[in-house]
């Protein structure tokens, strides 16, 4: 900028004081601050010339005047540069020092903003800037548009992030999403089998590789935070989230916490348990959920009461959290459920005294969706109390997710009135900033558009196909042990494929796929089991599909055998709670009709054990395929003998729902198929 213009601005600002005022408060922009300081320097330089040069002339040292003035100016500029150094922006400094420096600079409004997570549908770059919002999320089905591309996701996240970076301190937001079996909200992503299926594989390394692939696909859309894994120990299959649990056995769940280093990267040597860790920009922050006891509610009722003594809570439901902390999990989500009548979202003893103090967890805790609202009954009936109870319990980030203005106003009032101490706010923000600094979010806040090709890539689909075939559990093979039906012949002249789930990708994937509750039909990119059968058999084989054929059609069709694919319809959470656990119609009648007229192998698509005993005798073979996801070829790989059956039940399979709850080791244990059951076959040799 020309000196005359600077002088004019100096006059307009009332001299050098104006420049100083411009840099003393909230900076409008770096250019204005820099300009203000140049104004100060110009005025100071003029004063030096007026006072120093006459003195120098009197001492006949005028020749030195210019160098002296230049040296003084240089020293002043160096001092100014030193004063502008900001420690929290220096990536070479320790994380804790950066957190302390940034926290000291923050106003109450900026701190409370960091504790606030809002849904993308109520967000905008301006909202993030005005309210200093610390985090965004996409709930189930919340997308930029239907079938949005990776580039469209990246563009959306980038726009939001620019809003955050334009704030006074430039603290980046972190974007979270329920990537619970792959990046399941996103069209074209690889959809892996749900957790119950992965528990059947007994393969922690496979689960770790799935975590790494999921992280890449999440990052491909610009998102840095996955609400996974669910490490619930489901003790009652009537629970609508049971398929999100790896097993009824906490030891299997503990082993499957390998998803965490898959998502986040392996912790370094000499890592301190409880510290958050994310290896780099190809990884995402993970979230162990739902703390604690969510899988033990009475009668499997979602969000209900887990009645168990402390020893039972610690030996069944808590162990996987210790593994998660040892592996550097960055965040822990609090459960909707209660423990012996106390809402977990208001449980200071377990959230603060146990998780934070005793287990030394240093990442941040986060509420579930409107989780603090549900502290009261009915939900939201005393929101002011809910904010108070949730934050004082030790929840650091609140998944609001919509009414953020009310949340911010109430929390601000509670702090100003001394109801919530500033120390609690500082603890929460320290933890949130620690995660953001640890994962390199300040250095790499913007999405990497070059990662778009990671979404649904062939290597990830091959991995999902491997997971499917390892997860299949063979429950019956032949009406007599000496006459197995499987593996099936690929060269049979004519085969029948039947059932509501044979050619329905949405049913095959289950809940948490594209929509929160899942959906029906060709909801994303993938291969149905019918597609896979057609791809697997010999070109000379005729494949006939009839979703619900009558008995005459089957008897007179000349079929060598039939594959019947039936099961549960998609569901999540409370909508999946079931007291009867029956297969929806027309599944049972399809099985009865087809298996009564032809040799049949039944493939059962479900998130849990369901009632099968009444028609088990009619089947020649029964395969528990769980919720396999988009890669239907994983099913046919094993049906036709390219690979053998190896999966083992991660859950006890009951005879009758009247036996429930029933878990391995119970005194009344009398299952149809016990935990760990699974017939094996050898791959067919050609």
Structure tokens that stand for 398 in this block: 């609140």
Distances (CA, A) of 441 to 176, 285, 397: 13, 11, 17
Residues 533/563, Cβ–Cβ less than 8 Å: yes
Dihedral of the alpha carbons of 46, 52, 56, 61, in degrees to the nearest 10:
-70
- Cα–Cα distance for residue pair 658/655, rounded to 1 Å: 8
Residues 117/398, Cβ–Cβ less than 8 Å: yes
Residues counted in the chain = 686
Task: Using the CB atoms, write b or e for 215-243: b if 16+ within 10 Å.
Answer: bbbbbbbbbbbbbbbbbbbbbbbbbbbbb
Annotation says 573 is catalytic = yes
- Cα–Cα distance for residue pair 198/229, rounded to 1 Å: 12
Instruction: Choose among 110, 224, 219: nearest CA to 170.
Output: 110
Beginning with the edge strand found earlier in the chain, give each strand of the sheet holding 398-399 in spatial order: 225-226, 174-177, 135-138, 116-119, 398-399
Instruction: Choose among 436, 547, 466, 398: nearest CA to 213.
Output: 466
Annotation says 217 is catalytic = no
Instruction: Choose among 569, 635, 565: nearest CA to 603.
Output: 565
Instruction: Choose among 272, 260, 277, 247: nearest CA to 208.
Output: 260
- Cα–Cα distance for residue pair 668/5, rounded to 1 Å: 90
Residues 6+ apart with CB under 8 A from 458: none
The active-site residue, picked from 573, 577, 620, 637, is 573
Structure tokens that stand for 129 in this block: 């800037």
Looking up tokens 């420049």 gives 19
Residues 245/626, Cβ–Cβ less than 8 Å: no
The active-site residue, picked from 43, 178, 217, 368, is 368
Instruction: Choose among 411, 316, 535, 393: nearest CA to 114.
Output: 411
Residues 400/118, Cβ–Cβ less than 8 Å: yes
Structure tokens that stand for 258 in this block: 């390998």
Q: Note the Cα 433 to chain centre separation in Å.
A: 19
DSSP states of 254-301: HHGGGHHHHHH-PPPTTPPTT-----STTS-B-EEEEETTGGG-GGG-
Structure tokens that stand for 684 in this block: 């067919």
Active-site annotation, residues: 368, 573
């Amino acid at each position: 900028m020309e000196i005359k213009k600077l002088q004019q601005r100096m006059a307009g600002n009332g001299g050098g004081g104006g420049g100083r005022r411009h840099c003393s408060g909230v900076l409008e922009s770096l250019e204005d601050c820099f300009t203000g300081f140049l104004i100060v320097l110009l005025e100071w330089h003029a004063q030096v010339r007026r006072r120093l040069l006459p003195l120098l002339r009197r001492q006949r040292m005028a020749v030195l005047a210019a160098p002296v003035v230049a040296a003084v100016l240089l020293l002043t500029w160096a001092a100014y540069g030193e004063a502008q150094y900001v420690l929290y922006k220096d990536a070479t400094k320790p994380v804790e020092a950066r957190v302390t420096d940034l926290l000291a600079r923050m106003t109450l409004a900026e701190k409370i903003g960091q504790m606030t997570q809002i849904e993308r549908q109520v967000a905008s770059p301006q909202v993030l800037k005005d309210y200093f919002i610390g985090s965004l999320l996409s709930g189930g089905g919340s997308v930029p548009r239907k079938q949005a591309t990776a580039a469209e996701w990246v563009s959306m996240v980038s726009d939001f992030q620019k809003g955050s970076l334009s704030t006074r301190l430039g603290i980046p937001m972190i974007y979270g999403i329920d990537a619970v079996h792959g990046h399941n909200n996103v069209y074209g992503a690889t959809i892996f089998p749900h957790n119950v299926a992965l528990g059947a594989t007994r393969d922690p390394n496979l689960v770790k590789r799935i975590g790494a692939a999921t992280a890449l696909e999440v990052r491909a859309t610009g998102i840095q935070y996955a609400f996974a894994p669910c490490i619930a120990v489901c003790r009652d299959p009537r629970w609508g989230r049971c398929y999100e649990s790896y097993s009824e056995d906490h030891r299997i769940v503990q082993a499957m916490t390998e998803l965490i280093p898959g998502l986040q990267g392996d912790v370094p040597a000499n890592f301190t348990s409880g510290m958050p860790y994310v290896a780099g920009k190809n990884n995402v922050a993970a979230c162990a959920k739902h703390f604690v006891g969510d899988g033990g509610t009475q009668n499997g009722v979602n969000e209900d009461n887990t009645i168990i003594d402390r020893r039972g809570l610690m030996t069944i439901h808590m162990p996987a959290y210790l593994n998660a902390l040892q592996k550097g999990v960055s965040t822990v989500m609090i459960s909707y459920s209660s423990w012996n009548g106390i809402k977990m979202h208001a449980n200071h003893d377990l959230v603060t005294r146990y998780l934070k103090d005793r287990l030394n967890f240093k990442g941040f805790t986060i509420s579930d969706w409107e989780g603090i609202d549900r502290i009261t009954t009915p939900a939201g009936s005393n929101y002011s109390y809910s904010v108070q109870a949730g934050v004082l319990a030790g929840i650091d980030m609140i998944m609001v997710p919509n009414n953020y203005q009310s949340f911010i106003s109430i929390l601000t009032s509670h702090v100003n009135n001394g109801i919530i101490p500033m120390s609690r706010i500082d603890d929460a923000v320290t933890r949130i900033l620690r995660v953001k600094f640890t994962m390199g979010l300040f250095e790499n806040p913007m999405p990497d558009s070059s990662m778009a090709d990671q979404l649904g890539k062939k290597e990830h689909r091959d991995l999902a196909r491997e997971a499917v075939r390892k997860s299949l559990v063979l429950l019956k093979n032949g009406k007599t042990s000496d006459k197995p039906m499987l593996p099936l012949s690929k060269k049979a002249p004519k085969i029948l494929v039947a059932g509501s789930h044979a050619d329905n990708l949405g049913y095959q994937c289950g809940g948490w796929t594209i929509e929160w509750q899942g959906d029906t039909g060709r909801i994303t990119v993938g291969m149905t089991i019918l597609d896979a059968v057609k791809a697997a058999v010999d070109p000379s084989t005729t494949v006939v599909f009839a979703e619900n054929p009558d008995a005459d059609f089957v008897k007179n069709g000349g079929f060598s055998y039939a594959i019947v694919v039936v099961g549960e319809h998609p569901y999540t959470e409370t909508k999946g709670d079931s007291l009867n656990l029956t297969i929806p119609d027309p599944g049972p009648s399809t099985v009865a009709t087809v298996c009564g007229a032809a040799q049949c192998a039944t493939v059962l698509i479900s998130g849990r054990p369901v009632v099968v005993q009444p028609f088990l005798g009619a089947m020649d073979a029964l395969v528990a395929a769980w919720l396999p996801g988009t890669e239907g070829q994983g099913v046919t790989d094993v049906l036709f003998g390219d690979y053998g059956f190896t999966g083992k039940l991660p859950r006890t399979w009951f005879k009758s729902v009247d036996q429930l709850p029933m878990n391995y080791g119970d005194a009344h244990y009398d299952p149809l198929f016990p935990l760990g059951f699974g017939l094996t076959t050898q791959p067919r040799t050609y």
